[in-house]
Amino acid sequence: MMKLERIENEIAKTRQNISRQQARLRELEAQKTEVENLQIVQMVRALRMTPQELSAFLHGEAPAAPQPAHGKEETLDEEER
């Protein structure tokens, strides 16, 4: 009987460890998701898109052609010719 009790105790300890590790895993996965979401928000903000432009982009619609700024780009184009 001693051997059986020892094995049962080891099983109980192992189950407790597994439960703790699963809880830790869920906690780490939640942290990872939070960091990923923050990175996505930062990237979207860096694009400086309006909500309508972002929606169009996410739906795969072609964005409107960017309007060239007057000044340096025009002089660069003229110098390349």
Using one digit for the tens of pLDDT, what is the confidence trace for 24-48? 999 999 999 999 999 999 998 998 9
Return d(Cα 30, Cα 8) in angstroms, integer.
Answer: 33
Residue 57: which pLDDT band, with cuts at 50, 70 and 90? confident
Please give the model's pTM, rounded to 2 decimal places: 0.58
Listed residue (35, 59, 63) closest to 49, CA to CA? 63
- Sequence-distant (6+) residues with CB within 8 A of 57 are 49, 63
